[in-house]
Amino acid sequence: MDKKEIIAYIKEKIIYENLELSEWGHELSDIKDDTSLISDDGLALDSVDLLDIFVAVQQKYGIELGNITKEMMEEHCRTPLTLAELVINNLGGN
């Protein structure tokens, strides 16, 4: 599984579909690799949404992220790209 596939899955399935962003007026095409998930100029997701993302990532990729903290979510849930890098690092791949 390469980085592009991981990013595409995270954007479409984990972020867009799982969080039902279409109901909030977002299109899948609104979510770029570098779209901010947290800031108001991006998707402005809250901590519950970020926790949902972390759980979905762990389930999909079979990785254990341990105790999920607010700081961890803010660091790794900045963009779809930072989430993909988290997955790759925990899978031991490049």
**Max CA separation in the chain (angstroms):** 36
pTM score: 0.89
Domain coverage including residue 59: 3-91
Residue partners of 86: CB distance under 8 A and separation at least 6: 57, 65, 76
Summarised one tens digit per residue, pLDDT across range 24-77 is 999 999 999 999 999 999 999 998 999 999 999 999 999 998 888 888 888 888
Q: What is the CATH number of the domain that holds 31?
A: 1.10.1200.10
Q: What is the pLDDT of residue 58?
A: 93
pLDDT tier, 7 (very low <50, low <70, confident <90, very high otherwise): very high
Answer yes or no: are the C-beta atoms of 77 and 83 closer than 8 Å.
yes
The count of domains in the chain is 1
Calpha distance 35→59 (Å, rounded)? 23
